[in-house]
Amino acid sequence: MTGFVLLSMSPACVGLNRPPMLRSPLVDERNTDAEESDPNTPPADTETTTDDEPIEPPVVDGVVCYLGPDSAYDVCADVAEIPDLPAEYDYPPPLSGSTQYLAPERYLVLGEVDPQLAVAPNFVLEELAQEYKGPYGVVQSHAVARLQELRDELGALVINSGYRNPDYNAGVGGASSSRHMYGDAFDIDPVSATLGQLADACEENGAGFVGVYATHIHCDWRDDPLDASFYPSGRSAVTQTVQPDLAAEIGWRGAVLQAPATGWDEGEPLREWTAFDADGDVIHQAVGETYTPPAEAVEVQVVVGRAVEVSLLVQ
């Protein structure tokens, strides 16, 4: 069999009359015994919010306040309007007209803020915004609080990417309206948990979008009201939810199956493969970029990035 089959994002039911399969937990075979690299140790009596409502920091004009080491919202930094922003801060028009994609009006001047500022019990500013990705940064306070919730639940987390200015974002292949440019997105690598556990935790902690990649999880809070410290004119509730355009195919390349995908802009999405026999029973499961089904397989299903599910009859 040659060529690719393109299916919709809804669960596929091609060929076999069987109920939808419950997705299995993501497989993560990496070494999870790495030592914690967090710069701060959380206080023993730290309490966190576990509901799905956005955590609301204090609103002080010209200042952004973060949880801080004691979760007291007592660590603050100045934010400023930059009258002549350089060209690398040329933000695109709001995506689909959504007010969630307004350009920031104020920024942290990263060269004037201590990079070791403890913005949460387990995170310092430098982990979430680096000056080489733009001298002016946006790190929304409520997103930092959500990030701390993930850390409280799962243990140490490595932040691969936080804020990026538009020019840096374009240079690394980010989406033209990536939430990394708006200060509420993080690419996260868990130390003591699996990628699947981290993805679940992001969803349970109110993330507007969770991108499941082969090496990390993208987690953002695009649906939470914008932080008034950076967006004083855009404090209203969400007017329109915008999700990325994700698609995948499945087909043979020689003796193996592949599932090329589009819409994941930060690397290869995780691919979870399942083979079914003629009775519709699961006979094999695997995780990887390619898949060789067992000889008795009649249908193969792949879930790409936990977002797109496609199937192919192989007999």
CATH (domain of 89): 3.30.1380.10
Structure-token match 């015994």, residue found: 33
249-288 pLDDT per residue, tens: 999 999 999 999 998 888 899 999 999 999 999 999 999 9
Instruction: Please check whether residues 119 and 175 belong to one and the same domain.
Output: yes
- Ranges of beta strands (E only) in 122-241 are 123-124, 136-137, 157-161, 185-190, 209-212, 217-220
pLDDT at position 56: 59
pLDDT at 104: 97
The pLDDT value recorded for residue 53 is 53
Domain count, the chain: 2
Q: What is the pLDDT of residue 6?
A: 38
Helix (H) / strand (E) containing 313? strand 308-313
Pair (181, 70) in one structural domain: yes
- Tell which residue, 138, 113, 119, 128, has the closest CA to residue 66: 119
- 164's CB contacts (< 8 A; 6+ apart) are 133, 134, 172, 174, 178, 180, 181
**For residues 157 and 136, what is the distance between their CA atoms, to the nearest angstrom?**
24
Which residue type occupies 188? I
Listed residues 156, 187, 220: the one ending a domain: 220
Is 187 part of any domain? yes
User: Do 196 and 261 fall within a single domain?
Assistant: no
Judgement on whether residues 189 and 301 belong to the same structural domain of the protein: no
Whole-Å CA distances, 125 to 58, 113, 115, 136, 141: 18, 9, 5, 13, 11
Whether 69 and 214 share a structural domain: yes
For residue 83, tell me if it sits in a domain.
yes
Q: What are phi and psi of 121, to 5 degrees?
A: -55, -30
Residues 213 and 99 in one domain: yes
Q: Does the pTM of the predicted model rise above 0.85?
A: no
Which residue, of 220, 255, 272, is where some domain finishes? 220
Question: What's the rounded Cα separation, in Å, for the pair 148 and 192?
Answer: 15
The predicted pLDDT at position 235 comes to 55
Q: Which residues of the chain have pLDDT under 70?
A: 1-58, 234-242
Give yes or no: residues 117 and 187 share one domain: yes
Distances (CA, A) of 94 to 2, 177, 179, 246, 250: 41, 8, 12, 19, 33
- pLDDT of 60 reads 74
Nearest to 6 by CA among 264, 248, 190: 248
Query: 199 and 98 in one domain?
Result: yes
Asked whether residue 77 falls in the same domain as residue 160, the answer is yes
Q: Are residues 71 and 127 in the same domain?
A: yes
Residue 283: inside a domain: yes
Please check whether residue 52 lies inside any domain of the structure. no
Range of the domain at 271: 4-26+245-313
Listed in sequence order, the residues at least 6 apart from 134 whose beta carbon sits closer than 8 Å to its beta carbon are 88, 89, 110, 163, 164, 165, 167, 168
SS3 assignment, position 279: coil
Q: What is the pLDDT of residue 49?
A: 44
What are the backbone angles phi and psi of residue 144, rounded to the nearest 5°? -65, -40
Query: Is residue 294 one of the residues assigned to a domain?
Result: yes
Residue 38 domain flag: no
- Please indicate, yes or no, if residue 192 is contained in any of the structural domains: yes
Q: Identify whether residues 199 and 307 lie together within a single domain.
A: no
44 burial (CB, 10 Å; 0-12 / 13-18 / 19+) is: exposed
CA atoms of 107 and 80, how far apart (whole Å): 5
pLDDT at 241 (0 to 100): 60
**pLDDT the model gives residue 301:** 97
Phi, psi of 206 (to 5 degrees): 80, 15
Gap between the Cα atoms of 292 and 37, Å rounded: 38
Cβ count within 10 A of residue 148:
24
211 with 253, same domain? no
3-class SS at 174?
coil
Judge whether 78 lies within some domain: yes
Instruction: Give the three-state DSSP class for 39.
Output: coil
| Cα–Cα distance measured from residue 206 to residue 241, given in angstroms and rounded to the nearest whole number | 14
- What is the rounded distance in angstroms from the CA atom of residue 252 to the CA atom of residue 79? 53
Domain boundary among 185, 220, 255: 220
